[in-house]
């Protein structure tokens, strides 16, 4: 049975369950900090960009923006990307 063009279809939707809100925020800091020392090095960011985005280099503006104290690392506090729950809560 073909549905004629211009027909209006109506659907009934039954909600079976409502879960407790949005899924938890991913922890991108943890994913990038591969040596788990609590700070992100330029090498770790380069590796992440190459693996996830196929880019060989991180835009310099990104590094300058994230490394606020200019110590060559991005700390948990400096990192502005999604980082899930607070690191101190573990």
Is pLDDT at 38 greater than 60 in this prediction? yes
Compute the average pLDDT of residues 34-44: 95
Higher pLDDT, 27 or 18: 27
Q: Please give the Cα distance from 29 to 76 (Å, whole number).
A: 7
User: 0.85 exceeded by the pTM?
Assistant: no
Other Cβ atoms closer than 10 A to 45 = 20
What is residue 22's predicted lDDT score, i.e. its pLDDT? 76
């Amino acid at each position: 049975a073909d549905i004629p063009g211009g027909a209006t279809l109506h659907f009934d939707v039954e909600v079976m369950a409502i879960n407790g809100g949005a899924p938890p925020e991913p922890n991108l800091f943890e994913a990038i900090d591969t040596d788990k020392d609590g700070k992100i090095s330029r090498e770790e960011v380069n590796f992440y960009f190459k693996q996830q985005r196929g880019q060989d280099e991180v835009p310099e503006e990104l590094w300058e923006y994230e490394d606020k104290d200019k110590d060559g690392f991005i700390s948990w506090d400096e990192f502005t990307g999604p980082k899930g729950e607070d690191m101190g809560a573990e």
